[in-house]
């Protein structure tokens, strides 16, 4: 684990590797205990030098049979946190409960994940996959591909529709690939082949919606641990698995490995991480997790995997009082500090400098005449001009690929016109959206003042001159503002966000 710890330290995280036996010695008289680990994490959260730890990595597999009563001989390196959280199964593994520190809710206060390894060799494989994923990824556009796999619909849900809804949260610039059993691929063999070929070609995410068991997807066994996983040879083109289903993350059954833990352990390919369930669930509850995860990554710019999973859980918690058991049963099999190869989301600002015929400050239908040659400045807080645009005949201007944030758009006042709208507007740029700011102008009017009538007279006099004065005719205007979509701010803590560089990374290991 030391190479991974050094890698995270190199990213600016404070890192502490903790021997889990030291935790048992301090908090449980030397005896292995999930509660002892939770007590230690609570102590660290409240007592260590602020800020509190942000990421927790459990290094080691674990089962519900710590004393090997079943005779499988499978050891427990880091025990699962077993809790009666599943409405149907009852007790199951909930690594989430290790980090429910603050309050009486079941929301995580730190991002937690597990490397389900059973030997130093497996640990080396997983650590190398993670480091290579971040530092030496294969070339090509594989990380711009997202694979959506769907079971055929039945009484449990319209899995096609739910998958389409999730795919709608993927922004432009990514290719959506679909394997919908019974729709895009009508035979089971075609669907299996397409899934394997898709993973081998490389995907950023693989999202599955439908039924599953511990070692396969769907009643028809679309994707199987013993048959399809050995065919994977995707090398470093590793997806993050997002199976919005039941059971295939049930990592803690002794002698019976789950599909997802096997994928992240697979040497030469497989997955870099999996966010998967240790219990049963309802498709609509999975949908809250799914959409919350994608929005965190593609809308909010969250690139640390563990924080994106927290965002998915927060989305469920804040939008439904049902299905909250999924907050406990979905475990991250992978490094919560993993950095996803996703470009920061951007937005744009655009609009028209237009001839405002009625002077109301709004670009109404028919007001299509632009004012050529007007300069538009874009500034950030502090007043620094970061871009300018000179409009053409149409009056249109646009600033593209802007990082999310606050900007000021300012119009240089054209000569011979009077503004019917503010010359400077503050705009909040959101991800994958365009904010429209129009600038209305009317021609300035010229008024001449009366002058005396000149008469011929023999007496020399000064000749009064006609002095033109220009006056602007003010027109009441409405003030256009950039249309912003309000977002609800979830009350529960923590709020998922990209952690600052000094967040603490805390791998827990069992010494040999």
DSSP-assigned states of every residue in 63-85: -S-TT-TT------SS---EEEE
Q: Tens digit of pLDDT for each residue in 157-179? A: 999 999 999 999 999 899 999 99
Q: Tens digit of pLDDT for each residue in 84-132? A: 999 999 999 999 999 999 999 999 999 999 999 999 999 999 999 999 9
pLDDT band at 504 (very low <50, low <70, confident <90, very high): low
- The DSSP code for 171 is P
Give dist(CA 318, CA 488) in Å, integer.
9
Q: How many residues does the structure list for the chain? A: 512
Cβ-contact 166, 148 below 8 angstroms: yes
The domain made up of 346-444 has a fold known as Immunoglobulin-like (2.60.40)
Q: Tens digit of pLDDT for each residue in 333-350? A: 999 999 999 988 899 999
Mean pLDDT on 46-74? 96
| pTM (2 d.p.) | 0.82
Q: Tens digit of pLDDT for each residue in 372-413? A: 999 999 999 888 899 999 999 999 999 999 999 999 999 999
User: Of the candidates 345, 269, 281, 258, which has an alpha carbon nearest to the alpha carbon of residue 308?
Assistant: 345
User: Of the candidates 276, 269, 279, which has an alpha carbon nearest to the alpha carbon of residue 293?
Assistant: 276
Give dist(CA 438, CA 126) in Å, integer.
53
User: What are the distances in angstroms from CA 232 to CA 238, 239, 262?
Assistant: 10, 12, 12
What would the two tokens of residue 144 be?
């711009």
Cβ-contact 66, 75 below 8 angstroms: no
Confidence check: pLDDT of 462 > 80: no
End-to-end CA distance of the chain: 12
Neighbours of 443 (CB within 10 A): 11
Confidence check: pLDDT of 46 > 80: yes
- The DSSP code for 490 is -
Walk across the sheet containing 405-411 and list its strands. Answer: 385-390, 375-379, 405-411, 424-429
Crossing angle of the two packed helices 159-167 and 283-298, in degrees rounded to 10: 10
What would the two tokens of residue 212 be?
């599953």
Confidence check: pLDDT of 505 > 80: no
Looking at the chain, the domain(s) classified CATH 2.60.40.10 span 346-444
Residue located via tokens 């066994």: 221
The domain made up of 2-343+502-509 has a fold known as Rossmann fold (3.40.50)
b/e per residue 253-267 (b: at least 16 CB within 10 A): bbeebbbbbbbbbbe
- The DSSP code for 493 is S
User: Of the candidates 307, 280, 311, 306, which has an alpha carbon nearest to the alpha carbon of residue 295?
Assistant: 311
Give dist(CA 350, CA 508) in Å, integer.
50
Torsion angle, CA of 330/331/337/339, rounded to 10 degrees? -60
Crossing angle of the two packed helices 283-298 and 305-319, in degrees rounded to 10: 130
Secondary structure class of 3 (helix, strand, coil): helix
Give dist(CA 230, CA 224) in Å, integer.
9
Q: What is the mean pLDDT of the chain?
A: 89
The sign of the dihedral angle between the CA atoms of 317, 320, 326, 331 is negative
Cβ-contact 455, 476 below 8 angstroms: no
Mean pLDDT on 8-23? 97
Residue located via tokens 């049930």: 250
pLDDT for residue 492 = 38
Looking at the chain, the domain(s) classified CATH 3.40.50.1460 span 2-343+502-509
């Amino acid at each position: 684990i030391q190479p991974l710890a050094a890698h995270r330290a190199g990213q600016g995280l404070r890192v502490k590797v903790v021997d889990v036996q030291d935790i048992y010695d301090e908090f449980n008289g030397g005896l292995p205990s999930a509660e002892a680990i939770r007590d230690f994490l609570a102590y660290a959260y409240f007592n260590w030098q602020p800020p509190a730890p942000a990421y927790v990595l459990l290094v080691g597999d674990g089962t519900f049979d710590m004393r090997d009563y079943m005779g499988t001989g499978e050891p427990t390196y880091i025990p699962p946190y077993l809790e009666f959280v599943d409405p149907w199964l009852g007790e199951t593994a909930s690594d989430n409960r290790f980090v429910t520190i603050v309050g009486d809710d079941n929301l995580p206060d730190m991002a937690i994940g597990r490397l389900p390894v059973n030997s130093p060799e497996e640990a080396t494989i997983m650590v190398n996959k993670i480091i290579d994923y971040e530092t030496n990824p294969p070339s090509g556009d594989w990380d711009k591909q997202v694979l959506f796999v769907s079971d055929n619909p039945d009484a449990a849900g319209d899995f096609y529709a739910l998958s389409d809804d999730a795919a709608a949260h993927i922004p432009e610039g990514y290719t959506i690939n679909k394997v919908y059993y019974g729709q895009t691929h009508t035979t089971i063999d075609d669907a299996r082949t397409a899934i394997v070929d898709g993973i081998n070609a490389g995907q950023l995410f693989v999202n599955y919606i439908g039924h599953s068991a511990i070692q396969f997807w769907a009643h028809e066994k679309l994707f199987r641990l013993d048959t399809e996983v050995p065919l994977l040879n995707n090398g470093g083109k590793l997806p993050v698995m997002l199976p919005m289903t039941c059971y295939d993350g049930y990592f803690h059954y002794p002698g019976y490995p789950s599909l997802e833990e096997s994928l992240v352990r697979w040497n030469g390919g497989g997955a870099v991480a999996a966010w998967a369930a240790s219990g049963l669930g309802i498709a609509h509850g999975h949908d809250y997790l799914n959409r919350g995860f994608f929005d965190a990554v593609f809308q909010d710019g969250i690139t640390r995997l563990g924080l994106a999973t927290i965002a998915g859980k927060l989305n469920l918690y804040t939008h439904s009082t049902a299905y909250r058991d999924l907050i406990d049963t979905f475990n991250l099999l992978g490094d919560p500090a993993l950095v996803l190869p996703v470009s920061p989301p951007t937005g744009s600002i655009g609009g028209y400098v237009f001839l405002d015929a009625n002077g109301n400050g709004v670009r109404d239908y028919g007001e299509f005449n632009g004012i050529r040659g007007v300069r538009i400045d874009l500034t950030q807080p502090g007043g620094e001009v970061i871009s300018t645009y000179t409009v053409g005949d149409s009056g249109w201007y646009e600033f593209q690929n802007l990082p999310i944030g606050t900007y000021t758009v300012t119009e240089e006042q054209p000569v011979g016109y009077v503004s019917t709208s503010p010359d400077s507007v503050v705009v909040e740029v959101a991800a994958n959206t365009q904010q429209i700011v129009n600038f209305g102008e009317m021609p300035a009017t010229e008024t001449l003042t009366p002058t005396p009538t000149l008469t011929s007279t023999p007496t020399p006099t000064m000749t009064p001159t006609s002095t033109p004065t220009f006056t602007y005719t003010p027109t009441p205007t409405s003030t256009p503002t950039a249309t912003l979509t309000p977002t609800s701010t979830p009350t529960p803590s923590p709020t998922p966000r990209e952690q600052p560089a000094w967040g603490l990374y805390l791998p827990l290991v069992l010494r040999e």
